[in-house]
Amino acid sequence: MYIAISGNIGSGKTSLTELLTERLGATPLFEEIGNPYIADFYNDMNRWSFNFQIYFLGCRMRQGLQIKETSGYIVQDRTIYEDAYIFAENLHEMGLMSSRDFETYMKIFDLSANLVPTPDMLIYLRASVPTLVSQILKRGRSYEMGIDLDYLERLNNKYNNWIDNIYKGRVLTIDIDHEDFILAPSIVDDIVEHIKELNAKL
């Protein structure tokens, strides 16, 4: 069973991936944090946005092929769809990725998305910008310290629109503002039960 964790920067995707991996004995697929363009991107988004996004797309494509070859539970930290419909699209709308680069990116994405599996369940971690900022500060990644609040808000709006109006698969939404699964382990119990119930029906 393929479970994907979606959410904005700082929403807790990696933490939930780790918890579900432990509880389910799953194979984890973490987001690549060693993107060689990441520091340059946060310093000059206009110059490095295409390189930054293409690198992540390649990583997600590789994970998708791995999912095809893996049995049992699989938990992925962020999906290939978010790279395109949230991040690349937002950069283009902000004028930080040229139309030429965005069109090239989307052609590669369309090909890639057709070659990888669709999640059996997508868990969306919905969080307000103040909650995201609090969690970003807690984890203390230096390249994230200067993230603009308007940028996070734009991403949040993109995420909510994608979940509510575009994505067609099964979605379990967790409101991180009110359901902190780190402080309340029972929330993870409920998620695990939900996953197992769905898996029995697949």
Q: What is the pLDDT of residue 138?
A: 77
pLDDT at 76 over 80: yes
Q: Burial code of 116-151, b = ≥16 C-beta within 10 A, e = fewer?
A: bebbbbbbbbbbebebbbebbeeeeeeeeeebeeeb
Looking at CATH, the fold of the domain delimited by 10-201 is given as Rossmann fold (3.40.50)
Handedness of CA 177, 180, 181, 184 (dihedral sign): negative
Domain ranges in the chain are 10-201
**CA–CA distance, 48 with 105 (Å, rounded to integer):** 13
CB atoms within 10 A of CB 16: 24
Q: Is the pTM of this model over 0.85?
A: yes
pLDDT bracket for residue 142 (50, 70, 90): low
User: Can you tell me the mean pLDDT for 10-18?
Assistant: 95
Average pLDDT over every residue of 109-127 = 95
pLDDT reported for residue 143: 61
Closest CA to 42 of 135, 126, 151, 137: 151
Q: Given its phi and psi angles, is residue 179 left (phi above 0), alpha (psi -120 to 50 degrees) or beta?
A: beta
Mean pLDDT value of segment 57-83: 95
Using the predicted structure, report yes or no on whether residue 108 has a pLDDT greater than 80. yes
Model confidence at 139, pLDDT cuts 50, 70, 90, reads confident
Tokens of 194: 């939900």
Nearest to residue 87, comparing CAs of 127, 55, 119?
55
Catalytic residue, candidates 77, 83, 101, 120: 77
* pLDDT tens digit sequence for 20-38: 999 999 999 998 878 899 8
Instruction: Tell me which DSSP letter residue 7 carries.
Output: E
Helix (H, G, I), strand (E, B) or coil at 118: coil
5 in Cβ contact with 76 (< 8 Å): yes
Q: How many beta carbons lie within 10 A of that of residue 100, not counting itself?
A: 9
Q: Annotated catalytic, 77?
A: yes
